[in-house]
Amino acid sequence: MSELVTKSVPPEQQEQRIGKRIGGFTTVATAVAVLAILGAVVVCAQSRDNDKYSLKSPSGIAFSDFRGYEDWAVVSSAHTDERLKVIVGNPTMIKAFKGGIPLNGQPFPDGSMIVKLQWTPKKSTEAPFVVDVPDVFKEAFVMEKDSKRFPKSGGWGYAVFNYDAASDKFTPDAKNLSDCGYACHTPVKARDYIFHPYQKR
């Protein structure tokens, strides 16, 4: 009968094997921890979006109608003493602008949406020249075209959602009802109630 021969492993090789196993476990544990943190961040962001998109204005306009506005194309911008404003439009609105509306006398189609994002301004401390830059985000002023829902206001619905930076929360502005926005935009009725044209770029 042959005898089993047990080969001894030098201590240096044993330490190397143990080190590799520990290193492998550490890498896996780190990857799991990073994924858990990223998952928590995503869930937190989704929770904030869900809170925001559950809101409705007093006039019945849902913030969820404008889901994704953060990534819409820029139409124009404006600057007052109190606000820096960036106006963005959904794909339906941008397509209409590029097709010549409203300068061709045609109204925007139903489904058109526009959002005016408003910040308080501040002087840049980094630029080598005097320039105002956005400071604190304050409001999202929204408009949506639905001729059946809003026949008394030129087919447009209006709402304002205020943002509080301290709580990171949006709230519908109870003082800005749909007819208020309509009254402000009546001077540009000939341009289907839209002040800002699609700027050349």
Give DSSP secondary structure letters for 106-131.
PPPPTT-EEEEEEEEEEE-SSSSS--
Q: What is the mean pLDDT of the chain?
A: 84
Residue 160's Cβ-count burial label (10 Å; 0-12, 13-18, 19+) is buried
Quick check: is 156 in a domain? yes
Quick check: is 87 in a domain? yes
Quick check: is 130 in a domain? yes
Measure the CA–CA gap between 147 and 151, rounded to whole angstroms. Answer: 5
Whether the CB-CB separation of 91 and 75 falls below 8 Å is answered with no
CATH number where 124 lies: 3.50.70.20
Residue 155 has pLDDT above 60, yes or no: yes
Quick check: is 37 in a domain? no
Measure the CA–CA gap between 65 and 181, rounded to whole angstroms. Answer: 17
Residue 53: predicted pLDDT: 96
Q: Which domain holds residue 140?
A: 63-191
Provide the domain count of the chain. Answer: 1
Q: Among candidates 50, 82, 87, 83, which has minimal Cα distance to 67?
A: 50
Q: Which two tokens stand for residue 4?
A: 């089993």
Task: Tell me the average pLDDT across 142-162.
Answer: 96
Residue 104 has pLDDT above 90, yes or no: yes
Q: Report residue 181's pLDDT band, with 50, 70 and 90 as the boundaries.
A: confident
Quick check: is 32 in a domain? no
Quick check: is 4 in a domain? no
Residue 153: predicted pLDDT: 94
Residue 183 has pLDDT above 70, yes or no: yes
